[in-house]
Structure 1
């Protein structure tokens, strides 16, 4: 295990924060902290792990508390209720003090060994370092294909450039984290928000491994919610597509009505086919109207949720190792 960092580090040494959202990951926490410690030890930086924990029915919290007691440089946020991964990430970044912040999942699908290369890119002047998946081992075939389709759709319609096949695994400079903290969005989609903030960005390709233990905590419904979080706030295309479809159908309906009148005048009106055509047209228009209402509803509901101005999260408890760096009143680092 990694022990709390000692005086061998200078007070001016850069601090690396590693933010990890998690839920029901009791079997993954110890090997994750071990591997992070092995990566960080030879780099010579002060570092901390910020766990952002959705209240779990398993022993995830107890395992982390044991790691804190053993002297690992950990800050543990436990929320008052389950808030989901996007808000957990925001909370973790809010409580990170690093000159750079690395975001990584707890399931060890994203190898901690990539952190060293990310830091090297950061030292070269890049303020955003994204890990780009070249393969995703051990994942459900349908889920994988749906994810690939989502990234390609997002790439086409998003108003900000979101690199294809990049998840939440990334390094963010403290300046980027500071600017991200001004985006207090309840449905914060980190990949889109990072792109919206901008700054000098690079990409590191890697192969994603299967989960170390357990099963994914994101259902298809949860993945669909994340997809909406990525599309709705960052693209007008769904609404404009709805407008275009409605206008096109209106024109088509008028043309067909005109043709029907002309044919009726020339050949006589049938007693049957207009009713069939009308039934099909009503069915089609009803589907379009309901789809349109759903699209507009997503935008309206999300706008309403933002105007309520409720806190994004409530922290039930905050535990941390002694000697971790902290933010002072002016958001600068201090060390106890």
Structure 2
């Protein structure tokens, strides 16, 4: 029988694990002729998450777990899970139950029809503020406008990936990861299914606006150099305007003579040029910082434990 791995990154999710396990096992019981692996990736949780997972494994051998040595972030936790997943297909799902496990049978059906990447697109997003919805929509519009890769809008990590998609993603080892863009970048035969996203079943979200902003910057700098091009065009445009202004000043001085005036306009020009330079330097710095991190060639993560065995990370 084919095996399907259900990959679940988990960080401080002790409050929701029982509900998650009950709904997952109910869904799995309804799917015949498949073997299942439920693979948790404990991303350095500070609560009782790992102990709860271990207790579930003792009575259900379909459960496996990878426990990272510290919190590396969800993007890294997902690639760690893909490295250890055994299935012919992998379903990535969040632990908070905002992504309904009941969609897994439909994903498997389309997988058997020949699709490689069956992703769930959010039709509605309950429990999110209007600002978060607006900012998310705006970000995807900006990112799509900057890159030539077709970015999937209103789509998270909830999807089924065929083994060849998994192997392709495992080859992408950059440290600055934006997995949502990687799903689009690798290509393959994709299928969209719509769903209404529920609020969290329990616990608190780990994504504040600062982290979401950081993820947005990762997405833009990982898949396009358009901001660098904008800073170049901005520099050319400002230089051209400054040259025209210089000609005007010279001509005006030759005709009317030199008069000590223009302090306000001088300050405006200096502040404008200084601001434009700082913005350009900041954009360049973001890319240089990513080059710096990539040149270190550090491992993406370290494993503390895999299925009750301590990892040597050799």
Secondary structure, aligned partner of 1:272: coil
Match of 2:172 among 173, 183, 190: 183
Is 1:201 the equivalent of 2:190?
A: yes
> TM (normalized to structure 2)?
0.94
In structure 2, how many angstroms separate the alpha carbons of the residues matched to 1:269 and 1:106? 72
In structure 2, how many angstroms separate the alpha carbons of the residues matched to 1:212 and 1:131? 19
In structure 2, how many angstroms separate the alpha carbons of the residues matched to 1:231 and 1:116? 34
The correspondence of residues 316-327 of structure 1 with structure 2, limited to 5 A, is 316-319=304-307
Is 1:240 the equivalent of 2:229?
A: yes
In structure 1, how many angstroms separate the alpha carbons of the residues matched to 2:223 and 2:148? 6
Higher mean Cα deviation, 147-156 or 81-90? 147-156
Paired residues, number = 308
In structure 1, how many angstroms separate the alpha carbons of the residues matched to 2:138 and 2:268? 31
Offset at residue 240 of structure 1 (A): 0.4
In structure 2, how many angstroms separate the alpha carbons of the residues matched to 1:225 and 1:33? 31
Match of 1:131 among 108, 120, 144: 120
**C-alpha RMSD of the superposition:** 1.5
Match of 1:153 among 132, 142, 146: 142
In structure 1, how many angstroms separate the alpha carbons of the residues matched to 2:150 and 2:259? 54
Offset at residue 269 of structure 1 (A): 4.4
In structure 1, how many angstroms separate the alpha carbons of the residues matched to 2:303 and 2:68? 4
Runs (4+) of structure 1 moved beyond 3 Å? 263-270
The correspondence of residues 95-106 of structure 1 with structure 2, limited to 5 A, is 95-106=84-95
Map Cα deviations across residues 192-218 of structure 1 (whole Å, 9 max, x no partner). Answer: 111111111121111111000111011
> TM (normalized to structure 1)?
0.88
In structure 2, how many angstroms separate the alpha carbons of the residues matched to 1:130 and 1:261? 62
Secondary structure, aligned partner of 1:43: coil
Map Cα deviations across residues 50-69 of structure 1 (whole Å, 9 max, x no partner). Answer: 11111222111111111111
**Gaps spanning 5+ residues in structure 1: where?**
1-12, 322-336
Offset at residue 316 of structure 1 (A): 0.3
Offset at residue 122 of structure 1 (A): 1.0
**Gaps spanning 5+ residues in structure 2: where?**
310-314
Map Cα deviations across residues 223-261 of structure 1 (whole Å, 9 max, x no partner). Answer: 112111211010111100110111101111111221232
Is 1:19 the equivalent of 2:7?
A: yes
